[in-house]
Amino acid sequence: MPLRDYSGYLRDILEAGQKIQSYTAGKTFSDYQNDELLRSAVERKFTILAEALNQARQHYPQVQSQISNQRAINAFRNQLIHAYAQIDNKVVWGIIQDDLGQLLTEASTALVNAAEENSGS
């Protein structure tokens, strides 16, 4: 039995991702690399985002077709949790700059679709 409904997991993904964007807005890679608190906050939100996606994937198969790069996201989560000593700040920053926006767009679209399905539209 899932802990949350599908929309709840999608909202968790969106909230965590939006917070990452907020935390890093106006920052440079140098700012990110030199700010341990910022790095810790971003890594924590990425962990939440990826775990919400992982839980959604386990309980709601429709997420497979709605959000791309799930294996890469899960692998990144595993690195953050299990290989924390080898985290490459350039990789994390690259994900923020290059990949996070697409993920949030896909999660937002999935949330709209879920709301429409629940309303009977």
d(CA 5, CA 92): 29
d(CA 59, CA 65): 14
pTM above 0.85, yes or no: yes
Residue 45 lies in a domain: yes
Residue 61 lies in a domain: yes
pLDDT digits (tens, 9 = 90+) for 27-83: 999 999 999 999 999 999 999 999 999 999 999 989 989 999 999 999 999 999 999
Residue 121 lies in a domain: no
Vertex 105, ends 119 and 81: CA angle to 5°? 110
| CATH number of the domain encompassing residue 80 | 1.20.120
User: How many domains, the chain?
Assistant: 1
Residue 1 lies in a domain: no
Q: Are 23 and 17 in contact (CB under 8 A)?
A: no
Residues with Cβ within 8 Å of 3's Cβ and at least 6 positions away in sequence, in order, are 55
Residue 44 lies in a domain: yes
The domain in which residue 91 lies consists of 6-115
